[in-house]
Chain A
C-alpha cells in the first residue's frame, strides 16, 4: 500500500488536521508502512465471525440504568473555565457562516 501526498492531504482534511509540507511527506511514508502491515489481516478468513466491538459480560439488560433523580451537574462557570475564549456564558468561536 502506498500513499501519495494528495491522499495524505485528503485524510488530513477529514481529520481537521493542518500538516506542514514536511509532515505530509513523512506521513505518506509512515501510513504506507503501517497500512501495508495491517493488510496482513486479509490473509485470514473471518467468514461467519461476529465483529467484537467491546468486551462484554453477562448482566441484566437494565443493569446500567439508575433511578431518574435530580442531581448536581457541572455548573456553567466551571464548564467554561478551561475554554480558550468564552463570554456571556458561552464558548466563543470564529465566524461560522458569512452573510
Chain B
C-alpha cells in the first residue's frame, strides 16, 4: 500500500472492498510521514493516538455496514494554527510551543465526523504570517519538488505534505494567499472558499475579516471532497454564512464548460515572470478549446490592493495578538511588574515577522493616523470588492496567475519584507472581496518548478469553480 499515490476515492473504494482497513492505512501513513518528514520539515508534530482512534471508528462503521463518511480513512494534516483538542497546537510560535487546546475547531470536528483521520499538524509561518514558511519557530519547510526552494506560505507545510505524499489531504488557512500560493509553489490543488463558507471557530485569529480555512488535495476531486465535509453554517462563528452548501461532488460529475464566460484581468498580467506567463497562456488555450469564451476584463483598483491589505491585516493582527501576554497562554517571561511581564513575554516569544506586523498594525491604528490609514484602506477594500461585483456581472469566472514567479530559494527574500509582501499581489484581492478562489497546477518551468492557475468565482459559487478547474485538469 502506497499512501503517497492514493486519492480519496481510491481510499474509499479500498476500504469498502476490504483491501485494507483504516487502521492499516493510518499506520502506514504515520510510518511514511515519520520517515519522510526530515526531508521537508512539513510537520511540526504527528498525532498517532488521535489518528488511530479515528481510524478504529471508521473500521467499526465499516464492519457494522454503516456509511463511513465522505473522507473515510483519509490521512489528513491540519495546519498548526487550527485547534485540535488534546493535540499540541503551536501556531509555529515559540509562544505557544506547549499549548494544548481544550477544544476542537469546527472544521476539525467535521473532518473527523466525515471519517477523516488527522495524522499530524502541519508547519506554517508563525501565526500564519508570511509567504515562504521561513517564519516558523520550528524551522523552515522545504519544497518537496525542489528542496533548496521555499514551499510558499503561510500554509507551506499543508501544501508540502500533499506534494510529498505524507498526507493525502490537508487543511490550511488563507488570509492573503496563504493557501493558493503554496499550492501553486508545490504543484497541488489549494482552495480558498467564500468568506464565511467554512467556520473560523478554532482557527487562531490573525486578521478576522480576512481569515479563511480551506483544503489542499492532489487533485480537484480531493479538494472538493474535503471542502464538502467542512463547509456550512456554524453558530460558533457569527460570520459563518447561512447559504446552503452545494453538492460539489455531484457538480464534478459534469465538466462541460462550453459557453462559460471567463475574464482575464489585464492588471494581473503586468510584472508576471515570463515562463509562468506562458504556462498561464497555455492553460487559457486549453480552456478555450473546451469551449469557454475568454475576454479581457479590468479590475481597476488592483494596484491599490496590496497597500489596503497590509493596513487591514496588520491592524487586525495587532489586536488579535494582544492576547499573548504571558497570562493565559503557556509561556511567560518573568518581570517584577505586570507591564514588564507583558513586554518581556512578547519580546521573547514573537518572531521578527509577527513583531513587524504588530508594530505596523499598532501604528496604523494610532490616534491621528486611524482615518488616514485604516479607514482609507477599508474604503479602498470596498472599491476592490465592487471591481469584482462588476466583473462577475459580465463573466462566470476570472482566470489569472497565482504568483508573479514560481518558488524562490530559501533565504532569497527573508531580509526584505516589502519584496516578500509583493509576492501576494495576485492573491490578496480574492481575500479582500471574500470570493472563492483556488490554485490548480498548470505545468512546470524548465527548472521543474510548478506553476498554478488561479480561478476566482463569485460568492458561494464553489461548485462552478470546481467544475471549471476539473475541466481544465482533465484535459491538460
User: A17 and B347: CB pair below 8 A?
Assistant: yes
B residues contacting the other copy or chain, number (CB 8 A): 75
A91 to B338, CA, bound (A): 13
User: B336 and A94: CB pair below 8 A?
Assistant: yes
Q: Which residue of B lies closest to A14 (CB)?
A: B362
User: Which of B53-61, B253-261, B353-361 is the interface stretch?
Assistant: B353-361
Task: Give the chain B neighbours of A69 by CB distance below 8 A.
Answer: none
Task: Give the chain A neighbours of B334 by CB distance below 8 A.
Answer: 94
Q: Which secondary structure dominates chain A's binding surface?
A: loop
A78 contacts the other chain (CB 8 A): yes
A94 to B336, CA, bound (A): 6
User: B418 and A19: CB pair below 8 A?
Assistant: no
User: B209 and A74: CB pair below 8 A?
Assistant: no
User: B338 and A95: CB pair below 8 A?
Assistant: yes
Question: What is the CB-to-nearest-CB distance from B188 to chain A, in angstroms, rounded to a whole number?
Answer: 26
User: B366 and A11: CB pair below 8 A?
Assistant: yes
Instruction: Specify which of B307, B339, B363, B366 is in contact with A37 (CB 8 Å cutoff).
Output: B307
User: A53 and B378: CB pair below 8 A?
Assistant: yes
User: B311 and A51: CB pair below 8 A?
Assistant: no
B411 contacts the other chain (CB 8 A): no
Size bracket, chain A contacts: 35 or more
22 A-B pairs with C-beta separation under 8 A: A8-B359, A17-B346, A20-B347, A23-B355, A38-B307, A41-B373, A41-B376, A51-B381, A55-B209, A55-B433, A59-B242, A64-B235, A64-B238, A81-B100, A82-B98, A82-B330, A83-B330, A84-B330, A84-B331, A93-B341, A94-B340, A95-B338
Additional A-B contacts beyond A17-B358, A51-B382, A55-B433 (16; CB < 8 A)? A11-B359, A16-B342, A34-B418, A35-B363, A40-B304, A41-B308, A42-B372, A44-B304, A44-B383, A50-B379, A55-B195, A82-B328, A93-B327, A94-B337, A95-B336, A96-B338
Interface residues of A (CB under 8 A from B): 8, 11-12, 14-20, 23, 27, 30-31, 33-35, 37-42, 44, 46, 49-55, 57, 59, 63-64, 66, 74, 78-79, 81-85, 91, 93-96
